[in-house]
């Protein structure tokens, strides 16, 4: 019979042993790579079952070649037949029980890991509310250093504050003030996040933010994004003011914004146990001081910022202002608007060519003077 053929039985045993060892290594149940500790018990049960099969057929393989050396072939085959009849089913039964127990343990571990992952997802979602999105992403992707560390970097700093906040809110109950302030901060934060700002902190009714860290598009693009965000905030504030007036508010919030660009120290400040990701430096103080000089509903920027945004956003120099903490007067510029939007509103006429740039501000109302100036330039060109 074919089952009495030693070469055939040898091939079967070797095949079973090879497949078992391959499975053990493929599933990383043996070898240098260690599995996580939680599913280790289940994997060990599976390994025991597979090893039992492997050892049985290894013994079967060895007996086929050792027994004929000490007994006749007929006796050897009879012994091997008895071995298969009396022990093979026991080995298979043990292997099935062990492997089943292993898969049950793995399933239990999988359920526990799923529950833990859901809990971690909930916790990370809650944690995200206390961190700027850029910082949150950089921490979870491993690109942000979590130790006490800081660096010098060129940033565009944003500082906004509600004008006359105490006088405006003195007649409000604490619940009304809380709801109003949270609504204002929520609306402004949505705009900040949509433009890519890193919100540093809320200080009462003030918002401090910056562009350029952890992610930066370059100093120029960061400055443009910051001022565009400021314009969007003032536009949204005008919409909110109308809403608040309709709800009976006598003195709706009015916002002042200051923007500055310069080198700051940014990073993790504090102790090893508790840190705050923030910015410090004179440029930060300048942005805060600058907003106090802005008109209600207006935006003031420094000369550095104005130079970076001049091709995209129209600014108007207001003259130098004395700023507390700075020895020299600071040149300040009022933000008029984005060129493309001003052209659509027909507030300006703008034309640019190589070696030629024309900008007429129609809001000044002196159209006759503008026409005269253009005619004078044309006469000089034609002459």
The least confident of 74-83, 157-166, 295-304, 339-348 is 74-83
pLDDT tens sequence across 209-264: 999 988 889 999 999 999 999 999 999 999 998 888 887 777 788 899 999 999 99
Cα–Cα distance for residue pair 206/225, rounded to 1 Å? 20
What is the three-state SS of 154-194? EEEEEEEEECCHHHHHCCCCHHHHHHHHHHHHHHHHHHHHH
CA atoms within 13 A on the CB side of 168: 18
pLDDT, mean of residues 140-151: 66
**Domain boundaries in the chain?**
2-128, 141-341, 346-383
Element containing residue 116 per DSSP (H, E) = helix 89-128
76's CB contacts (< 8 A; 6+ apart) are 63, 64, 67, 68
For CA atoms 145, 146, 148, 150, give the dihedral sign.
positive
pLDDT tens sequence across 257-296: 999 999 999 888 877 777 788 899 999 999 999 999 999 9
**pTM over cut 0.95:** no
Task: Return the pLDDT at 86.
Answer: 64
* CB-CB contact of 158 with 209 (8 Å): yes
Give me the residue label for tokens 């509600």: 162
* Topology of the domain covering 141-341: Alpha-Beta Plaits (3.30.70)
Cα–Cα distance for residue pair 164/183, rounded to 1 Å? 18
Q: What are phi and psi of 33, to 5 degrees?
A: -80, 125
């Amino acid at each position: 019979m074919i089952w009495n053929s030693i070469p055939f039985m040898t091939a079967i045993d070797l095949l079973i042993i090879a497949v078992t060892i391959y499975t053990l290594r493929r599933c990383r149940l043996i070898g240098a790579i260690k599995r996580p500790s939680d599913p280790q018990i289940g994997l060990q049960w599976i390994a025991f079952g597979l090893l039992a099969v492997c050892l049985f057929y290894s013994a079967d393989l060895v007996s086929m070649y050792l027994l004929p050396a000490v007994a006749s072939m007929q006796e050897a085959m009879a012994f091997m037949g008895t071995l298969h009849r009396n022990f093979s089913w026991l080995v298979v039964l043990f292997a099935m029980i062990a492997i089943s127990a292993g898969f049950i343990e793995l399933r239990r571990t999988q359920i526990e890991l799923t529950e833990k992952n859901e809990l971690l997802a909930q916790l990370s979602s809650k944690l995200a509310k206390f961190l700027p999105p850029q910082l949150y992403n950089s921490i979870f992707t491993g690109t942000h250093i979590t130790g006490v560390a800081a660096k010098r970097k060129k940033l565009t700093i944003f500082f906004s504050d509600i004008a006359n906040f105490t006088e405006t809110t003195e007649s409000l109950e604490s619940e009304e003030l809380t709801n109003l302030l949270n609504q204002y901060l929520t609306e402004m934060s949505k705009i900040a996040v949509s433009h890519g700002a890193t919100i540093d902190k809320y200080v009462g009714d003030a918002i401090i933010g910056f562009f350029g860290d952890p992610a930066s598009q370059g100093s120029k693009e960061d400055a443009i994004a910051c001022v565009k965000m400021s314009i969007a905030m003032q536009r949204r504030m005008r919409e909110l003011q109308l809403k608040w007036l309709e709800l009976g508010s006598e003195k709706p919030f009015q916002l002042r914004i200051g923007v500055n660009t310069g080198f700051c120290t940014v990073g993790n400040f504090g102790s090893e146990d508790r840190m705050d990701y923030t910015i410090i430096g004179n440029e930060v103080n300048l942005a805060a001081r600058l907003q106090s000089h802005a008109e209600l509903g207006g935006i003031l920027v420094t000369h550095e910022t104005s130079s970076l945004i001049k091709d995209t956003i129209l600014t108007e120099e207001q003259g130098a202002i004395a700023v507390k903490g700075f020895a020299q007067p600071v040149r300040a510029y009022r933000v008029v608007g984005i060129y493309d939007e001003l052209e659509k509103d027909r507030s300006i006429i703008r034309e640019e060519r190589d070696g030629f740039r024309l900008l007429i501000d129609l809001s000044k109302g002196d159209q006759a003077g503008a026409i005269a100036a253009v005619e004078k330039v044309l006469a000089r060109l034609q002459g």
